[in-house]
Amino acid sequence: LKKQRVTLKTIADSLGITVATVSRALKDYPDISAKTKKAVLDLAEKLDYQPNLLAQRLRGNLSKTVGIIIPEIVHHFFSSVISGIIEYADEQGYSVFLTQSNELMEQEKNIAKKLFAAGVDGVLVSLSDETSSVEHLKKFLEYGIPVVQFDKVNFDFPTSTIIVDDFKGGLDATQHLINQGCKNILHIRGLDLPNNAIGRFNGYKKALENNGIPFREKYVLQCERVIQEEGYRLVKETLESNMKVDGVFAITDMVAIGAAKAIEEAGLQIPKDIAIVGFSNSEITKYFNPNISSIHQPGFEMGKQALEILLREVEWSNKNIEYKPSHKVLKTHLEARASSLRK
């Protein structure tokens, strides 16, 4: 014998009034008599009435749901972002429709359709590494559904963005290696498209320039996918080719760890022979031996702020208020550890 869910009707019938009155009493409308209000509130409390969210949302033409498209859930940085989003969504009475693209543009397209069908009020997206066009996301804007891009964004797509200062991160990482005496610094970069790969690369270049170190194309290696194995492969090949290397700035911590393995296998010492800096300051940097220096990226904060921006725009959109996309850049900082500290 299943219990039946308590609705406005349950309360109304039991009190001999209409659902309209019950609804108003619960929502503290001014015109309700004190007596009725008390009766309704007491009974609602007693029966543990919970409004049906689906009905409220359908009626209000608002789903109170936001979609998130993320490249990978099993990932320290992204799961931190998710955690920030969920916490703030909860505070604001929003539900979150979480999806992952697995870094594939095709999946991103399918997901976009589903989110649209689900009637989300807004979308938070971090683009896949493959995403070369954002056609599949334009539909949201056409229907007045705000989109906020975070971490991996396309600046040609006119939405708000929130990223970390990848340029500054790349600059700081490289300057730190130079300060430690490195002169032949390898940069293992990411794919062509993602702004974070570009920003970090530009920071690397600028740091060399600032210190009068010539930029050499062959000191920039590109991952086919941003994974540990690629860091390992690229550094192994480089060391076997007898290129002179005394520092490595890797696009991510996992790539840095791959590099570290190749360096150790070559019989070289970290940081004495080759110093290493990664990016993200993920948990793993503190457990790998040697501890990996890294650029800290505030994931939780990014998630929270991305949703703040989005919900503000959702409100504006509902009120038909025109707004301009905003562009936020969160600060990064270097956490110098054993992998680069030569002292």
Partner DNA sequence: CTGAAAGCGCTTACAG
Residue 4 vs 242, nearer CB to a second copy: 4
Q: Provide long-range contacts, Cβ within 8 A and 24+ apart, for 109-116.
A: 109/136, 111/67, 111/69, 112/69, 112/136, 112/137, 112/139, 112/140, 115/67, 115/69, 115/140, 116/140, 116/143, 116/145
Q: Are 307 and 89 in contact (CB under 8 A)?
A: yes
Q: Is 296 in the site for a second copy (CB under 8 A)?
A: no
Nearer to a second copy, 113 or 183 (CB): 113
Site for a second copy (CB under 8 A): which residue of 12, 75, 122, 309?
A: 75
> 282, 279, 283: which is closest to 295 by C-alpha?
279
CB of 201 to a second copy, least distance (A): 25
d(CA 343, CA 339): 11
333 φ, ψ (degrees, to nearest 5): -150, 155
How far apart are CB 6 and DNA at their closest, in Å? 8
Q: Which two tokens stand for residue 103?
A: 């870094």
CB of 301 to DNA, least distance (A): 33
- The binder of a second copy chosen from 212, 244, 287, 321 (CB under 8 A): 287
Contact pick of 23, 51, 193, 316 for a second copy (by CB under 8 A): 51
Interface with a second copy, residue 2, by CB under 8 A: yes
207: Cα within 13 Å, side-chain hemisphere? 27
Question: Per-residue x/- mask for a second copy, residues 249 to 278, rule CB under 8 A?
Answer: --------x---------------------
Q: Shortest Cβ distance from residue 33 to a second copy (Å)?
A: 27
242 binds, among DNA, a second copy, none (CB under 5 to 8 A by kind): none
Q: How far apart are CA 14 and CA 161, in angstroms?
A: 51
Q: Is 316 in the site for a second copy (CB under 8 A)?
A: no
Minimum distance of DNA from residue 11's CB (angstroms): 8
Beta carbons of 259 and 270 less than 8 angstroms apart? no
Q: How far is CA 187 from the centre of its chain?
A: 24
Q: Say which amino acid occupies 179.
A: N
Choose which of 42, 55, 132, 273 interacts with a second copy (CB under 8 A): 55
Counting contacts by CB under 8 A, is residue 325 touching a second copy? no
Q: By C-beta, is 119 or 325 nearer to DNA? A: 119
Cα-Cα-Cα-Cα dihedral sign, residues 259, 261, 266, 270:
positive
Least gap, CB of 35 to DNA (angstroms):
6
Nearer to a second copy, 42 or 90 (CB): 90
What gap in Å lies between CA 139 and CA 157, rounded to an integer?
Answer: 12
Contact footprint for DNA (CB under 7 A): 5, 7-9, 16-21, 23-24, 26-27, 29, 31-36, 51-52, 55-56, 58-61
Site for a second copy in 96-155 (CB under 8 A): 96-100, 113-114, 116-119, 139, 142-144
- Candidates 73, 106, 135, 225: give the one binding a second copy (CB under 8 A): 73
Tally Cβ neighbours within 10 Å of residue 59.
Answer: 9
Q: 3-class SS at 45?
A: helix
CB 301 within 8 A of CB 283: no
